[in-house]
A and B are shown apart, each in its own frame.
Chain A
Amino acid sequence: MELERTNDSFLTTQLDQIIGWARKNSLWPMPMGISCCAIEMMAFAGPRFDVARFGSEAFRFSPRQSDLMIVAGTVTYKMSHVVRKIYDQMPDPKWVIAMGACTSSGGMYRSYSVVQGIDLFLPVDVYVSGCPPRPDNLLKALMEIQKKIARGEKPGQSDKVYIEESAEHA
């Protein structure tokens, strides 16, 4: 068994861990709220399924000030250019949650104007299924991204995580 020798010293790995801890506990989402999932996302930010307790206090609608994009709602071909432009405007490192069935795979709309999944033009980290997903599932997706950051994985290239609909709710 060979141990891989990296060039990271003790101090830089500790620094990486501290930076990762700071990043994951202050993920500011950019809500790309397009249709029905946006309402569940507003409920996810609302008083009951409070997301501010996870550090996502500021729902900045400006891409320059956020690091997580939650694409919530059906993305049509006309809207896809807008979503890509906003994704390009976000500073690195940035993560993407594909919320709902429509963003994961086109959802129930197999029609001429709906993009069958946003991973055709965006690198996605976590897929949340549901139509719309319960805010609890979206919280689980946020926690999965936090775990990814804690493990030090690079956004967009690590293994994708799929959150299924389950019957356990808070």
Chain B
Amino acid sequence: MDQDPKLRILHALESQDTTVTFDDPLENEMILNMGPQHPATHGVLRLLIRLDGETIVSLVPDLGYLHRGYEKLAENMTFHEFIPHTDRLDYLSPLANNVAYVLAVEKLAGIEAPPRAQYIRVICCELARLTSHLVWLGTMAMDVGAVTVLLWGFREREKIQDIWDVLTGVRFTTSYTRIGGLAQDITPEAITALNDFLDRFPASLDECEKVLNKNRIFIDRCEGVGFLSKEDTINFGITGPILRAAGVDHDLRRDAPYLVYDKLEFNVPVYYDCDTLARFYVRMAEMRESVSILRQALQKLPSGPTNAANPKRVLPQKEKVYGKMEELIHDFMLVNFGINPPIGEVYHAIEASKGELGFYIVSHGEGYPWRLKIRSPSFSNLQALPAMLKGRMISDVVAVIGGLDPVMGEADK
């Protein structure tokens, strides 16, 4: 074969051919397949890395191992039926995805949820951010070497999952929000549990920081690794903590406020180093800000209904459906035929824990969306992986992926 041997290796790996041979094995650069099944790739991400010894010459990510066909599924079900599917997008923070989708549909249909529901949705979003960052902290520290932090992170996460159990009925994939409001109201039990958790959580964060912040090994593994300049970060369309670690002061909660974030006070942490260590500091600071936002939201929680008063669009409560005539008819029509929003298209994004999570919905006036596109932050963030790792060593791959924090459920849709 007259082909360039490197291309031959690449074709052989991609076509799973194990019979190819080479004349001079030491002359070739190695192509390493960091396969979809790997303890440190945060899900099913496949990386094809061309190595010269231990230095990375180039890197090609291969996605699609979790492509479940969300956008095609969305075209075949009503807006309400798609809510459980949104849970499984960024499966580390399911409540935030629910809120993002429902906000987009409400914008399209012109419904506004009552203030109590909006405050509870803010609580849900911030709790989701906390769980996502706790798993990030655990897995990134474990990948770099500090295995203890994984167990501490999961211990805290279990406490938040207990709160979700009381609030929504489910430990994990909640499907809590509904178009026009929420599935059920927050109970005093949940508020007490949340207050208890908020009192104890900062101490656990301090514990984790004590292990990692001044740790020589952690800093050496993360400082300067995964550098991507500010202009490149903006050009790639990267959002979220990575953008804030590159010195850009941009946060959708403050710049394009949704829900009641304009009534709450919070800081946006910005660091200027553009490397993995800066991303670590940004996320730790974000967790502390989330605690303060949660406290404010709990203090300001108003009383009132949790669902908008729009019977043609909002699903009625189950007890009334079994007892009263109008609610029964409305429930039947909404479940079978959908909410029928006006013809048009809308895009709404929230600041999820990974970046800007947006839904672009085109409606032709029927109960099903005509087109639903999910703007997933992990997909856009992963694009920058080859640029971040050019010329680095193979062991930096794990640290950089940890700093990027991709979730394949979102990136592969």
Contact = CB atoms under 8 A, between A and B. Distances in A.
A113 B151 contact: no
A76 B172 contact: no
A82 to B, nearest CB: 5
Interface string B83-107: 0110110011000000000000000
A114 interface: yes
Contact of B69 (A81, A109, A131): A109
A45 to B, nearest CB: 9
Interface residues of A, number: 33
Interface in B338-367: none
Given A36-B172, A43-B158, A82-B35, A114 B65 contact: no
A40 B157 CA distance: 11
Question: Of residues B36, B38, B155, which shows the largest number of chain A Cβ atoms within 10 Å of its Cβ?
Answer: B36
A93 interface: no
B181 interface: no
Given A36-B88, A109-B69, A78 B64 contact: yes
Given A35-B408, A109-B73, A114 B68 contact: yes
A78 B67 contact: yes
A162 interface: no
Interface in A63-82: 73-74, 76, 78-79, 81-82
A34 B44 contact: yes
Nearest to B91: A36
A40 B172 contact: yes
Given A46-B154, A111-B73, A39 B172 contact: yes
B6 interface: no
Contacts of B39: 61
B171 A134 contact: yes
B158 A113 contact: no
Contacts of B88: 35-36
A134 B69 CA distance: 26
Given A35-B409, A47-B151, A132-B173, A76 B36 contact: no
Interface string B157-173: 11001000000000111
B172 A79 contact: no
B171 A46 contact: no
Nearest to B44: A34
A82 B37 contact: yes
B159 to A, nearest CB: 10
Nearest to B151: A47
Contacts, number: 88
Nearest to B35: A82
B150 to A, nearest CB: 8
B66 A61 contact: no
B72 interface: yes
B113 interface: no
B246 to A, nearest CB: 29
B17 to A, nearest CB: 14
Contacts of B277: none
Residue among B35, B65, B157 with the most chain A CB within 10 A? B65
Nearest to A49: B158
Nearest to A61: B39
B69 A79 contact: no
Nearest to B162: A48
A66 B255 CA distance: 50
Contacts of A83: 37
Interface of A: 32-36, 38-40, 42-43, 46-48, 61, 73-74, 76, 78-79, 81-83, 86, 108-114, 131-132, 134
Interface of B: 16, 35-39, 43-44, 64-69, 72-73, 84-85, 87-88, 91-92, 135, 151, 154-155, 157-158, 161, 171-173, 408-409
Given A36-B172, A113-B69, 19 more contacts: A32-B37, A34-B44, A35-B43, A35-B66, A36-B173, A36-B409, A46-B151, A48-B155, A61-B39, A76-B64, A79-B65, A79-B66, A81-B16, A82-B37, A82-B65, A109-B73, A111-B68, A113-B67, A114-B69
